[in-house]
């Protein structure tokens, strides 16, 4: 059983590396993806000055994008190309420029081609700033090589 799990974990990491290599949005925003495993992924981002809105806090769209990135990498660890079907976020605490954020995505349910994932976004100190839930759908095609 261990060899199958090890193979699945290696395949998940390889898929994440291939996805990240062509993910221009994540690269441009300085998002990094780490700790990828089957049904899980961690993404990090430092909030830059150009990500701050008129209230002098991080624009919610950037926090959402970080959570969505962790979600995307987690739901694409099974092999078939998978996309978001829907997503919802609750912002719990404002974030300011210079702060590092960590988003951890965890698969909750995978049923056929549908999945549900929860993502917690935290400051580097561990304080939760947002909770995200995403629903995914596997496509009929395999990811591009």
Q: How does DSSP classify residue 137? A: E
Q: What is the CATH number of domain 2-138?
A: 3.10.129.10
Domain boundaries, the chain: 2-138
pLDDT at 79 over 90: no
Euclidean distance between CA atoms 121 and 63, whole angstroms: 8
- Is residue 49 a contact partner of residue 97, using CB atoms and an 8 Å limit? yes
pLDDT given for residue 138 in this prediction: 95
Query: 3-12, 89-98, 128-137 — which is least confidently predicted?
Result: 3-12
Residue pLDDT, tens place only, 22-68: 999 999 999 999 899 999 999 999 999 999 999 999 999 999 999 99
Q: Going edge to edge, which strands form the sheet with 82-91?
A: 32-37, 40-46, 100-111, 114-123, 128-138, 82-91
């Amino acid at each position: 059983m261990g060899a199958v799990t090890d193979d699945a974990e290696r395949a998940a990491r390889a898929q994440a590396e291939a996805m990240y290599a062509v993910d221009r949005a994540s690269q441009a925003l300085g998002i990094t993806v780490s700790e990828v495993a089957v049904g899980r992924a961690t993404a990090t981002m430092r909030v830059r000055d150009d990500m701050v809105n008129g209230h002098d806090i991080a624009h919610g769209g950037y926090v959402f994008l970080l959570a969505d990135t962790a979600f995307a990498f987690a739901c694409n660890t099974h092999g078939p190309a998978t996309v978001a079907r829907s997503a919802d976020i609750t912002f719990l605490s404002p974030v300011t420029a210079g702060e590092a954020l960590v988003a951890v995505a965890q698969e909750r349910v995978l049923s056929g081609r549908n999945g549900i994932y929860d993502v917690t976004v935290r400051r580097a100190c561990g304080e939760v700033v947002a909770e995200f839930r995403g629903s995914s759908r596997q496509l009929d095609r395999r990811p591009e090589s």
